[in-house]
Chain A
Amino acid sequence: QLQLQESGPGLVKPSETLSLTCTVSGGSISSSSYYWGWIRQPPGKGLEWIGSIYYSGSTYYNPSLKSRVTISVDTSKNQFSLKLSSVTAADTAVYYCARIVVVVGGPPLLFDYWGQGTLVTVSS
């Protein structure tokens, strides 16, 4: 049974960098059939895709966040990570990691397994 688990600080100061790691168990992050991604949800609001990565290191970012986001992968640890710089209160959200299915004929943007999510609050 595939499981994804987010980890990282729950409180980040404004202007600092938010760092989260997603650990994948029950499956290999190096599978050619999947990408891996981050999605966030501000309290009481909707879902926003942050970015995705392939095991080879290829990345895709939301243009609205691209200048502040870095996603990386560590295949030896079966983990991928998110860094979001220069955070503000607007970055307060539940951050989810997810597995992304490679769809025939379309871009890899379908999220089939999600972690439980972790709340990150930006506050001094």
Chain B
Amino acid sequence: AIRMTQSPSSLSASTGDRVTITCRASQGISSYLAWYQQKPGKAPKLLIYAASTLQSGVPSRFSGSGSGTDFTLTISCLQSEDFATYYCQQYYSYPPTFGQGTKVEIK
């Protein structure tokens, strides 16, 4: 199975900050990379797919980049509703696998 490694595991930031989360795949996955946001007690929500395509309805302050093995999720201007845990996921091959998550907390 392809291993997905996120960094950092957690971070503290303030409203208005620019935040970057990285995700590394153990082998090349082209652009078959998605990002999800999960708030406590809620299901994950698809934010970005194909490494950089915003899902419908997702604010433009979210952006994704990368291909191959290295990917990033950037939140350009952190809002209060963005404090959550973020997961990357590869959908290049079976089984689909997720990163361990990055918790974005309020500083």
Contacts and interface: CB of A to CB of B under 8 A. Distances in A.
Contact of A110 (B34, B94, B98, B100): B34
Interface string A22-50: 00000000000000000000000011110
Interface stretch (A13-21, A79-87, A111-119): A111-119
B94 A116 contact: no
B98 A47 contact: yes
Nearest to A97: B43
B43 A49 contact: no
B22 to A, nearest CB: 16
A interface: dominant SS: loop
Q: Which of A47, A49, A116 has the most CB of B within 10 A?
A: A47
A53 to B, nearest CB: 14
Contacts of B75: none
A61 to B, nearest CB: 8
A110 B49 contact: yes
Contacts of A49: 95-98
Contacts of B94: 60, 107, 109
A49 B101 CA distance: 15
A47 B35 CA distance: 13
A46 B96 CA distance: 13
B32 A103 contact: yes
Interface of A: 46-49, 60, 62-64, 96, 101, 103, 106-107, 109-112, 114-117
13 contacts: A46-B99, A46-B100, A49-B95, A64-B95, A106-B92, A109-B32, A110-B34, A111-B34, A111-B44, A111-B46, A111-B89, A114-B45, A115-B43
